[in-house]
Amino acid sequence: MVEQITKGDWRRFVQEGVLDNSRINERIRASWNHCRRLGVDPYNGKGTQMLSYDALQKRRRENSWLIELAEPFIKKLATMYHDSNVILLLVDREGYVLRMAGEELVKATASQINFTEGVKWTEEQVGTNAIGTALAIGEPIAINGMEHFSVASQTWGCSAAPIKDENGDVIGALDISSPFIPDYYQHVLATVVAAAYAIESMWQHRMKEEELELINLGLKEERGSDRSFILYNRNHQLVYASSAITNIPAAISELPTNHNKSPVYGKDSSEIIGHQITLTNQKKSPAFQGWNSSFQFQGVAGKSSTFQKVLERAKKAAEKDVTIHITGDTGTGKEVMAKSLHVCSKPDRPFVAVNCGAIPENLLESELFGYTGGAFTGAQRNGYEGKIVQANGGTLFLDEIGDISVKTQVALLRTLQEKKVVPIGGKKPIPVSFRLITATNKSLGGLVKKGQFREDLYYRIYVYPLHMPPLKNRLSDIPELVDYYFQKRNWQFTWRIEAIRALQSYHWPGNIRELFNVLEGIYTEYGEQSPEPSDVEAYIRQITPHERDVSFSGDLSTREQMEKEYIEKALKQHGGKASAAARQLGIPRSTFYRKLKKYELG
Ligand SMILES: Nc1ncnc2c1ncn2[C@@H]1O[C@H](COP(=O)(O)OP(=O)(O)OP(=O)(O)O)[C@@H](O)[C@H]1O
């Protein structure tokens, strides 16, 4: 049990720095020590930092929302405490008194110590006090009489509770103060806490509503345009980035020198609910083509950082005309990537693709190297030039390269070394020059170890590996992929966002191919009607082989994934330094750490 602190205790502390710990609450002791270290004058404690009329009005405008939400509580409590010698105060996050209500006599007493609207009432300014300490520790607290660090407030009894936003950051505080210490002060504290909690809940509810409004606005504004813009909420947190922005962290890092900020008004047009920044130097992206500087991806590039990294590497490979080996699970778009690499380096030359796994072994060799007329029974009379010759001057894409026999491996190696092809049954070598791109969903290295793939050929083709990530690692790209498929099929309707979210909560072992198959199947079943999320899940379960796992994670929302990605990138840009990354993204540090924990990035 903490005993009441006396004038003698206080004097000993301010004069000698000695304090009997059992006599004072731990929080208050810490605050006293803090004030002493800061050199706050214990013999004064009147307010000194006062806003001018104009500055106070400006601050009120900046906190108009907080005032609006708190006002009904302040009014109600003022009525309840009528004749109880109290005043009610609302302060902003920096401790400036925005609003004071209550009896005129009490207000007059308060003004004697400059405790008025516009004053800054923090620990640093006036010493330990309920408002300042509640703001500093982020918790409700009552400070009575001698517990105040400076004499000016030592007859007062005050109870304050911080008000926090949806991220848990303090945005202000509510306080009830009296020039006499009320003996029911515990009840007063409970009342303040309850009111602050109600204000917080209303704030969070409105914040969510506004966020949705901003997202809808962004979607509307983006429709049919390829503008690059970002929408921030009133707390300066990013809530929307248009799809023309393929690299959100890079775009954000350009903001200080290159932005054009405009207010965004809410539904009733009277209030600014956020702001929009138009980025002027972003590359415009034609629909469904991922531009990455000079690299033009021939499918949906999406915004995910996972795929952006792939495009970065692909761009380098396209520039250098190097031999590329693409890895990745089935349906991840290895062939789409091979075509993109070709288009970016030799668009007017042939692109010849051979799926080595799909052609019977005895036919693959002739398919690749060609044959002369009458080379074998069943051969075409005039012979066949073969895919390698067809690819001359352009790109040869050998899919499922891991499936070719050792005999064909030898022949291919010779062609690559000598840059010549000898057709089956022929003698005359044909000179060829082509860019080789190979792909497999197997581990080529593993096949070499097992002796199923020649090591010398491995080194010839495994020059620049490019890995296509599985769709489960780029779930945030699903809305764009769906959009793409709808346009490709010329379907003139859309699905509800919940149905798209259901798609995003599945792990897609068959990747993009499986996604398109599911869209096609659901269309057959539901036509132009948007399915419910449960319909999507039921359909996927129905078409999936029994032994397969069909769990739906219900994981992160698209916005959360987007947020996770830009946090990840900012961290990377700053070598893992959380404070620098938080600064770049304009996220308060405490919020940033909470997000790191949430997304398991810590
Ligand atoms: N980024 C993309 N944008 C649009 N469509 C894509 C994309 N990636 C893949 N697809 C489509 O998904 C299907 C599978 O792609 P692709 O054949 O390139 O995959 P893959 O990895 O080569 O598959 P496999 O290993 O089974 O041959 C194709 O219909 C392709 O058009």
Residue spans of beta strands (DSSP E) within 115-213: 141-144, 157-164, 170-178
Asked if 454 and 508 sit in the same domain, the reply is no
* Top-confidence residue, 454 or 375: 454
Domain-embedded: residue 551: no
pLDDT over 70 (residue 251): no
528 and 562 assigned to the same domain: no
CATH number for the domain spanning 478: value is 1.10.8.60
Q: Is residue 215 part of a domain?
A: no
Q: Does one domain contain both 364 and 438? A: yes
How far does the centroid of ligand 1 lie from the alpha carbon of residue 514, in Å? 10
Interval between CA 337 and ligand 1 midpoint (Å)? 8
Residue 467 has pLDDT above 90, yes or no: yes
Query: Which residue has the least CA distance to atom 18 on ligand 1?
Result: 333
Alpha carbon distance 415, 368 (integer Å): 11
Cα separation, 16 vs 359, in Å, equals: 92
3-state helix/strand/coil string of 100-118: EEECHHHHHHHHCCCCCCC
Q: What spacing in Å lies between the alpha carbon of 299 and ligand 1's midpoint?
A: 9
- Of ligand 1's atoms, which has the minimum distance to the CA of residue 477? 1
pLDDT higher than 70, residue 13: yes
How much distance in Å is there from the Cα of 385 to the middle of ligand 1? Answer: 28
The Cα 278–Cα 293 span in angstroms is 20
The reported pLDDT for the residue numbered 556 is 53
Given this model, what pLDDT does residue 292 score?
38
The torsion angles phi and psi of 98, rounded to 5 degrees, stand at -90, -30
Give 290's pLDDT tier (boundaries 50, 70, 90). very low
Structural domain ending residue among the three candidates 416, 444, 467: 467
Mean pLDDT of 253-273: 65
Calpha distance 585→571 (Å, rounded): 10
Kindly state whether residue 19 falls inside one of the protein's structural domains: yes
How many A from CA of 223 to the centre of ligand 1?
Answer: 26
Inside any domain, residue 216: no
* Model confidence band, residue 322 (pLDDT cutoffs 50, 70, 90): confident
Do 83 and 148 belong together in one domain? yes
pLDDT at position 383 is 80
536 with 586, same domain: the answer is no
Distance CA 328, CA 530 (A): 32
Please report the pLDDT score of residue 319 as a whole number.
79
**Atom 14, ligand 1: residue with shortest CA distance:** 331
pLDDT of residue 1: 43
pLDDT of residue 554 exceeding 60: no
Tens of pLDDT along 474-526?
888 898 899 889 988 988 888 888 889 889 888 899 999 999 999 999 999 99
DSSP string, 438-460: EEESS-HHHHHHTTSS-HHHHHH
CA of residue 407 to ligand 1 center, whole Å: 29
Q: How confident is the model at residue 282 (pLDDT cuts 50, 70, 90)?
A: very low
Q: Is residue 549 part of a domain?
A: no
> How far is the centre of ligand 1, averaged over its atoms, from the C-alpha of 47 (Å)?
69
- What is the CATH classification number for the domain harbouring 572? 1.10.10
Output the CA 297–ligand 1 centroid distance in Å: 12
Which residue has the CA at smallest separation from atom 5 of ligand 1? Answer: 299
Is residue 165 over pLDDT 50? yes
Range of lowest pLDDT (241-250, 500-509, 584-593): 241-250
Geometric angle at alpha carbon 554, from 287 and 288, rounded to 5°: 5
Whole-angstrom distance, CA of residue 245 vs CA of residue 258 = 14
Least confident of 182-191, 255-264, 386-395, 472-481: 255-264
For the CA of 484, the nearest atom of ligand 1:
4
**Same domain, yes or no, for 175 and 85?**
yes
Which ligand 1 atom is the nearest neighbour of the CA of 440? 25
486 and 589 share a domain?
no
ipTM, interface predicted TM-score of the complex: 0.98
Query: Domain end: 153, 171, 205, which one?
Result: 205
pLDDT given at position 247: 64
Higher pLDDT, 144 or 250: 144
Please give the full DSSP string across 377-389, using - where no structure is assigned.
TT--TT-B-HHHH
How many domains does one find in the chain? Answer: 5
CATH of the domain at 85: 3.30.450.40
pLDDT in tens, 365-394: 999 999 887 666 665 667 888 999 999 999
478 shares a domain with 462: no
Residues of the chain above pLDDT 70, percent: 89
Expressed in angstroms and rounded, the spacing between residue 58 Cα and the centre of ligand 1 is 56
Domain membership of residue 26 (yes or no) is: yes
Ligand 1, atom 10: closest residue by C-alpha = 333
Residue nearest to atom 12 of ligand 1 (CA): 513
Check whether 550 has a pLDDT greater than 70. Answer: no
Calculate how far, in angstroms, residue 516's C-alpha sits from the geometric centre of ligand 1: 10
- List pocket residues of ligand 1, CB cut-off 6 Å: 299-300, 328, 330-336, 399, 441, 484, 512-513, 516
Residue nearest to atom 8 of ligand 1 (CA): 333
Please state the rounded mean pLDDT for residues 183-195: 90
- Segment 532-535 long-range contacts (CB within 8 Å, at least 24 positions apart): 532/498, 532/499, 533/498, 533/499, 533/501, 533/502, 534/502, 535/499
Average pLDDT, the chain: 86
Atom of ligand 1 minimally distant from the CA of 336 = 18
Q: Which of 311, 327, 335, 481 to mutate to test the pocket of ligand 1 (most atoms within 8 A of CB)?
A: 335
Token pair for 466: 């490019």
97 and 187 share one domain: yes
Q: Whole domain around residue 400: which residue ranges?
A: 290-467
Residue 2 is assigned to a structural domain of this protein: no
| 14-28, 237-251, 453-467, 578-592: the lowest-pLDDT one | 237-251
Centre of ligand 1 to C-alpha 335, Å, is 6
Taking the model in full, what pTM does it have?
A: 0.50
Do residues 521 and 581 both lie within one domain? Answer: no
Q: What percent of the chain has pLDDT over 90?
A: 50
pLDDT of residue 268: 64
Take atom 29 of ligand 1 and give the residue whose Cα is closest: 513
Residue 178's nearest CA partner among 76, 107, 240 is: 107
In a domain, 217, yes or no: no
Instruction: Identify which of 487, 512, 515, 518 to mutate to test ligand 1's pocket (most ligand atoms within 8 A of the CB).
Output: 512
Q: Whose CA is nearest to atom 4 of ligand 1?
A: 299
Question: Are 460 and 475 found together in one domain?
Answer: no
Looking at per-residue confidence, does 272 or 469 come out higher?
469
Pocket test of ligand 1: the residue of 336, 468, 518 to mutate, having most ligand atoms within 8 Å of its CB, is: 336
Residues 526 and 563 in one domain: no
Which of 359-363, 385-389, 402-406 has the weakest average pLDDT? 359-363
